[in-house]
Amino acid sequence: MKAQKTVEFDLLNNAKDSLRQAIELIATREIGSDHARLKHAITAAAHCIELLLKERLRRINPAFVWENVDKYPSLAARTVTVDTAISRLKSIGNVTLSESEERDLKSLRTTRNAIEHYEWRASEKEAEIILGCALSFAIDFAHRELAVDLSETFKSDDTWKMLLDELYAFSKAHGARLEAKFLAKGEYPNCCDECGELTVPMRGGSCELCGHWQFIEE
């Protein structure tokens, strides 16, 4: 008799898988209508972020992932909501989220709840902005709080470029994050000839967003 394989996803790999689903839905344009792909990509991105927040809590103490820490590790008990996870990370994990990040996450949660539990209506532009900000947050949070580069796997082929081409809202949101990091270090980035974002180092080199190599004349 063939041995049964175990299906297993830890928190981080569970999050990675949901991010992969969200990005491939948008980048490849192979599954369903544009609106259906947006809907499913938003719920997958929201799931990814929830798991990333819980993974950060787990690294502080696994019991903090549970709403009632005394019930850890019972899977019959509730784990924390996104709101509680954020609150705990801020109070005991020294994790700082900007006002815009918290605002974007609130909008994402409201949208996800509407999709999963009732009806959802939004303009395409609004839906794309919600998704673009969510994907950018997930990648940035994982990098700064978990020391994990979630974008790496998508850059091994054309998926990352396809994402940038298909979801302008992501290019703008992530480009703005990268620009802010340059400025925080006292650097003034150049505009990339390829993607149009201020994400090329002062003295030239590879664009932090799209990877385009750009020479800067002195």
pLDDT in tens, 136-179: 999 999 999 999 999 999 999 999 999 999 999 999 999 999 99
Euclidean distance between CA atoms 159 and 165, whole angstroms? 10
Share of the chain above pLDDT 90, in %: 94
Residue at 198 is within a domain: no
Residue at 210 is within a domain: no
Position 217 confidence tier, pLDDT thresholds 50, 70, 90: confident
Residue at 68 is within a domain: yes
What pLDDT does residue 218 have? 65
Q: What is the pTM of this model?
A: 0.95
Residue at 48 is within a domain: yes
Q: Based on the structure, what is the number of domains in the chain? A: 1
Give the amino acid at 114: A
Euclidean distance between CA atoms 38 and 19, whole angstroms? 13
Residue at 85 is within a domain: yes
Residue at 38 is within a domain: yes
Position 107 confidence tier, pLDDT thresholds 50, 70, 90: very high
Residue 106 has pLDDT above 90, yes or no: yes
Residue at 207 is within a domain: no
Give the amino acid at 125: K
Domain at 107, CATH number:
1.20.120
Residue 117 has pLDDT above 80, yes or no: yes
Euclidean distance between CA atoms 99 and 102, whole angstroms? 5
What pLDDT does residue 30 have? 72
Range of the domain at 21: 11-150
Question: What's the average model confidence in pLDDT over 100-125?
Answer: 97
Whole-number average pLDDT of the chain:
96
Residue at 211 is within a domain: no
